[in-house]
């Protein structure tokens, strides 16, 4: 049996039209499914309105205590509950979850050395509580995960949504045929000079394109996450409509 | 079998010491249990920081679109997920829920006549999805409800936490021996000149004390909610340690 894990990020969450199209497609998928969502600009906007300075460390954002509060409010609160309510209105029995709920994804706070990223969670091999999430799926419900987890001491942690999606895919690979799809604002991985996305991208091709600088920036961790999930036994991984292969 | 429904409000949520004591007590309760939480001052504080004017209508707060966003962020996001994580750290497998999740409490937006309260939800007899919440309870999990619901069209709604607690108590009265407890910052309903709370308060006594002005303000809807739940077949209702009787 298939389990479809869809991950959407800010470029979908922030765009009401794209989000509507996505939610229609998602709610029509008749197989088992999980939605993992990222942030969007609302958290940064709220930080700005509240006068919280953006703390960066070597180009990466630090999650201090107030930024954590904003992240939990926006991701686990506003975005998550709106997605759930919108899916419910489409007849899809969505169930909003953070990793804290029923302890279904427990993380460890990232070590402060060599760089202290603050309240950021990293996932390990035992992070995903497969048993509990499976009972939700088997009840015909659709888990909708916000990128918030917690540790064993009850500390909430901001966690990368792509990583949550791939950790779920890996955790469920022995139970279902897992299809992991990173949905974003383009149709897939494109090569320069071509509007049409690649239908297939192998690891060898990816390494070549990356070394040429054709695949760069944010697409690199996405493809590497995808390859990593495939290496760990996930059946199919798509970035947009581009199928990633080892 | 007993089902204990505890409701806590801002006076507990906002006070870390009281909250710790409450969460210890709650997590030690070995019977089936549900926690319903209200707000606290964080939502008002955030409104103030964001420069959102407090809109009132005949002394009651209006939930406009931005106030709704703040309510969802603070109640379903920050407060709910922190309660869940703190309970998890105490070995209590808490599951944070809004009424939107799995459609477990669906409300209707309050009619705009005679006064328009904005995005406020009212509950009806069919609002509580007993079946789904019961499956959570029977799985050994502990539902933790934020005072946010939604309607059938996917509109999130701010909803009174006392009302949610009593609607849950009424909905489950045929399935469990329901004990509903409104926990607050005092030990129970007190009479003036006495530090010691009443151990018992009957409807007749309440009406007398209310007419004398001894029970006033916020305590009136609390006692009336309690009496209403008893009338509808809920087994036991406590306000603090005061047992309310018909």
Q: What percent of chain B has pLDDT over 70?
A: 99
Q: What is the DSSP pairing of strand B60-61 with strand B56-57? A: antiparallel
The alpha carbon of residue B20 is apart from the nearest alpha carbon of chain A, in Å, by: 13
Close Cβ partners of B211 (under 8 Å, ≥ 6 residues apart): none
DSSP-assigned letters across all residues of B170-210: HHTTTTSEEEEEEE-SSSS-B-TT-SSBPSEEEHHHHHHHH
* Chain B residue whose CA is closest to A75: B77
Q: What is the DSSP pairing of strand A108-109 with strand A94-97? A: unpaired
Contact (CB, 8 A) for B69 and A73: no
Q: What SS3 class is residue B19?
A: helix
Q: What is the DSSP pairing of strand B2-8 with strand A2-8? A: unpaired
- Which three-class secondary structure string do you get for B75-86? HHHHHHHHHHHH
pLDDT digits (tens, 9 = 90+) for A157-189: 999 999 999 999 999 999 999 999 999 878 888
Confidence (pLDDT) at A82: 98
Q: What is the DSSP pairing of strand B242-245 with strand B236-239? A: antiparallel
Are A154 and B86 a contacting pair at CB < 8 A? yes
Are B72 and A88 a contacting pair at CB < 8 A? no
DSSP-assigned letters across all residues of A172-223: TTTTSEEEEEEE-SSSB-B-TT-SSBPSEEEHHHHHHHHHHTSS-TTHHHHH
Are B154 and A74 a contacting pair at CB < 8 A? no
Contact (CB, 8 A) for B115 and B99: no
Domains and CATH numbers, chain B: 2-185 (3.40.1160.10), 187-246 (no CATH)
Residues of chain B in contact with residue A74, where contact means CB-CB under 8 angstroms, are 73, 77
Residues in chain A: 246
Q: Which residues of chain B have pLDDT under 50?
A: none
Are B72 and A78 a contacting pair at CB < 8 A? yes
C-alpha dihedral sign at B202, B204, B208, B211: positive
DSSP state of A87: H
Q: Using CB atoms, pick whichever of A49, A95, A100 lies closest to residue B102.
A: A95
d(CA A25, CA A244): 21
- ipTM of the prediction: 0.94
Per-residue pLDDT of chain A (246 residues; tens, 9 = 90+): 999 999 999 889 999 999 999 999 999 999 999 999 998 789 989 999 999 988 877 767 899 999 999 999 999 999 999 999 999 999 999 999 999 999 999 999 999 998 899 999 999 989 999 999 999 999 999 999 999 999 999 999 999 999 999 999 999 999 999 999 999 878 888 877 777 889 999 999 999 999 988 887 778 888 998 999 999 999 999 999 999 999
* Chain B residue whose CA is closest to A76: B77
Beta strands in A21-171 (DSSP E): 32-37, 56-57, 60-61, 94-97, 108-109, 121-122, 142-145, 148-150, 156-158
Q: What is the DSSP pairing of strand B177-183 with strand B236-239? A: parallel
Whole-number Cα distances in Å, B198 to A160, B11, B52, B210: 52, 20, 41, 14
Are A154 and B95 a contacting pair at CB < 8 A? no
């Amino acid at each position: 049996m298939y389990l479809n894990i869809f991950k959407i990020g800010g470029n979908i969450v922030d765009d009401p039209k794209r989000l509507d199209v996505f939610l229609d497609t998602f709610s029509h998928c008749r197989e088992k499914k999980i939605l993992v969502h990222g942030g969007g600009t609302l958290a940064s906007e709220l930080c700005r309105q509240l006068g919280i300075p953006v703390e960066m460390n070597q180009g990466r954002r630090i999650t201090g205590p107030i930024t954590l509060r904003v992240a939990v409010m926006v991701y686990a609160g506003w975005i998550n509950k709106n997605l759930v309510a919108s899916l419910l209105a489409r007849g899809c029995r969505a169930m909003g979850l953070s990793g804290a709920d029923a302890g279904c994804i427990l993380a460890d706070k990232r070590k402060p050395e060599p760089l202290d990223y603050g309240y950021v969670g990293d996932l390990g091999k035992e992070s995903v509580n497969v048993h509990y999430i499976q009972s939700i799926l088997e009840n015909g419900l659709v888990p909708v995960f916000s990128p918030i987890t917690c540790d064993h001491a009850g500390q909430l942690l901001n966690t990368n949504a792509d990583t949550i999606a791939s950790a779920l895919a890996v955790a469920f690979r022995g139970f279902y045929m897992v299809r992991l799809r990173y949905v974003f604002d383009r149709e897939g991985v494109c090569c320069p000079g071509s509007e049409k996305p690649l239908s297939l991208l192998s690891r060898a091709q990816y390494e070549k394109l990356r070394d040429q600088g054709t695949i760069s920036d944010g697409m690199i961790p996405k493809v590497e996450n995808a390859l990593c999930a495939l290496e760990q036994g996930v059946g199919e991984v798509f970035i947009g409509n581009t199928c990633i292969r080892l």
